[in-house]
Chains A and B, each alone.
Chain A
Amino acid sequence: MRTPILPNRDPSGIEDECRSECLSAMRLPDPLTRVLKQPAGSTNYPLLWRRVEVQLDQSSLPAGLGKRTGFGWWQVVAASALGGVILLLLVLTHGGPSMGVVENVINEPQQESAAVEQSLAADVQADVTWSSVGDTGLRLRGGAAFSGIEARSVPKAVTFEDGSSLRLAQHSVVDALVMSARDVVLRLSMGKLVLNVMPDGVRRWTVQAGAVSVEVVGTRFIVERTAERVTVTVSHGTVLVRSEDLPERVERVGAGESLSVDIVSLSSHTDEQTKRTTKSDSQPPVGAVAALLERADRARLQGDWSVARHSLERVVNEFTDDPRAPLAAYQLATVRQSQGAAPEQVAAAFAYALRQNLGTSLRQDCYWRLLQAQIASGQRAASKETARVALEDFPDGRYSRRMREFLDGALAE
């Protein structure tokens, strides 16, 4: 039954103007509000207001006068030039920002354990990575920028300029995804971190551990990530843990409490069945591929491309002989496309999928998407070849007309 197109809220009387043919073709109402639910309001409105207040106070002007107590342009230029000279002098005398980081870490106050002190004396320079984009509103004590740290054989620790501190257990890796004036987002790729966030701060701290995120304002907590599970333990304060694997997708964890989230939902299988296998090993664990594909489907429907990609890559790489692997390869290519990957990468992904044993319908889709990606990446010769092969394979296929038009146009050039 055709979905009735409702009149929009346009009070000007030009209701039919600029109606969406796309929505009509998709049999969706225009506007879409009829099929959308209202997103839940944020519980952070009071905190958000405090941040607004802080920013208004920091701007140092009576609200509403609309005029900054700013500087003239020549003063800005002079300040920039002076800043550049100072920076140049710092680089020449101290050898660059990396030394600042080493000094900052080495000058940390005495820690509880001897192992941490030992790590401070270790060669940390090679472990610290630098971000090339994004502002670094929050810096380490001492003024150096922070974008990540890896603890190898010994634990590591850093303190930020606002008094918050981060400690990594050995064999742990943390990247800073965002370090702005309002947000700090850290990614725990592996291992364990202890985070002590100063309360009453204006920043929102978030730790991402795979598909689990932990949000905090003023507290101390531990996040531990293994291949199968993420565990959050709170010492002081409260955190919000978000994961699609939680019943309500979000859980509040208070002081003295702990929450564990399984990363891959294979709970219906025994430990023996969920062991990882390689191509040369015996048959893949029963249900493991199905569980991974189901997880990928859920993630795709939610637009969580990272989780979808990870799950599909596991199927493609670890269960190559499974009959569902070609489908996973095709879906992986579409996920790469949805992620906004470079056209060359998308083309490579679809080319790989084409080499698998895809069904007829998917094979046609795959040819068409590969052609589009090759055109987008400027691979003219390859795109012509793809169109030629596709037409040989499917002379009367779904995209044959357009492929012929493309080839005719390409050959005419």
Chain B
Amino acid sequence: MLLRFSVALAALPACVVAFPINGTRAQKLIESTDSELVSSALTGDRAAQHALYVRHVDHVTQRVARLLGRSAEAEDVVQDTFVVAFRDLAQLSEPARFGGWLSVIGVHQVHRRLRRRALLRRIGLDSQTDDVSLSCIVDPAAGPFVRTMLKQLDEALVRLPIELRLAWMLRHVEGCALPEVAEQCRVSLATVKRHLVRADKELRQYIDFEGNAEESAVDQIHMVSDRGKQ
């Protein structure tokens, strides 16, 4: 009985269990700007921290998941991101830009996780699957050709050095402006431009390596649907 009760308690939303917030306070938190919430959070106000978390967790999780390609690791990275953000909150010079700053921390955590993954892969211990790769999150209405292209792109992106991969994905998947990409990658604008050009060049070489994009897509379609003719 105690075990079952404990399990049920664990399933309740954290904000209900952790502190009883009355409606007025909750409403005030919802209506507060990031600046106001950051100021409160700096004094140790856990409710303000939670409000910031609720406001930004979905966006951070989506971005981290797309950059990592794996939902299983995304939550870990998101957790680390918020812990670092709240721990180092005093270093945020512009409280109104909490969201952007959080994203910078998230990308840095993704970078660390990708480095670790590369090491595990080199020694054959990377057994997880990419369930949020581009080809896995393609819009069903996009069609099989787009899906096949994205599959090739996934394979090519994995081969890029991590810095190039992140810069390219922030620019061409997330749609970030160049200054934002530079900020999130923690490099200069000139460097990020070099990264993007080099990444694009290497991706093109890989696609050319396949023969060309269209031919390989046709081959793949034949492999799936026309086995008897082989």
- Our verdict on whether A and B bind, yes or no, reads yes
Q: How large is the interface on B (under 10, 10 to 19, 20 to 34, 35 or more residues)?
A: 35 or more
Q: Which of B148-202 contact A (CB under 8 A)?
A: 149-155, 158, 168, 171-179, 193, 196-197, 200
| In the bound complex, CA of A403 to CA of B96 (Å) | 57
Contacts of B90 in A (CB 8 A): 64-67
A68 (CB) vs chain B CBs: closest residue: B87
User: Given A18-B197, A46-B13, do A33 and B61 touch, yes or no (CB 8 Å)?
Assistant: no
Contacts of A18 in B (CB 8 A): 171, 178, 193, 196-197
Contact with A along B196-210 (1 / 0, CB 8 A): 110010011001011
Looking at the assembled complex, report how far the CB atom of A300 sits from the nearest CB atom of chain B, in whole angstroms. 8
Contact A183 B76 (CB under 8 A): yes
Contacts of B130 in A (CB 8 A): 303
User: Given A49-B50, A338-B155, A362-B230, do A64 and B42 touch, yes or no (CB 8 Å)?
Assistant: yes
| In the bound complex, CA of A38 to CA of B71 (Å) | 13
Looking at the assembled complex, report how far the CB atom of A249 sits from the nearest CB atom of chain B, in whole angstroms. 9
**Number of residue pairs spanning A and B whose beta carbons lie under 8 angstroms apart:** 250
Contact with B along A361-393 (1 / 0, CB 8 A): 110110010001000000000000000000000
Contact A306 B42 (CB under 8 A): no
Please count how many residues in chain A sit with their CB below 8 Å of the partner chain's CB atoms. 94
B217 (CB) vs chain A CBs: closest residue: A26
Q: Which of A295-354 contact B (CB under 8 A)?
A: 297, 300-306, 323-324, 326-327, 331, 338-341
User: Given A18-B197, A63-B87, A66-B88, do A301 and B135 touch, yes or no (CB 8 Å)?
Assistant: yes
**A93 part of interface (Cβ distance < 8 Å):** no
**A52 part of interface (Cβ distance < 8 Å):** yes
Shortest 8 CB-CB contacts between residues of A and residues of B: A31-B175, A66-B90, A64-B89, A64-B42, A199-B6, A303-B130, A22-B203, A35-B142
Question: What is A's interface to B at a CB cutoff of 8 Å?
Answer: 8-12, 14, 17-18, 20-23, 25-28, 30-33, 35-39, 41-42, 44-53, 55-56, 59, 61-67, 133-134, 177, 182-183, 187, 199-200, 204, 206, 208, 217-219, 236-238, 255, 290, 293, 297, 300-306, 323-324, 326-327, 331, 338-341, 358-359, 361-362, 364-365, 368, 372, 398-399
Contacts A26-B213, A323-B228 aside, 6 further interface pairs with beta carbons under 8 A come to A9-B175, A49-B14, A56-B83, A64-B43, A302-B136, A338-B155
Can you report 12 A-B residue pairs in the complex whose CB atoms are below 8 A from each other? Answer: A14-B178, A20-B172, A26-B153, A31-B174, A48-B75, A64-B90, A66-B89, A133-B119, A199-B7, A204-B75, A303-B135, A324-B230
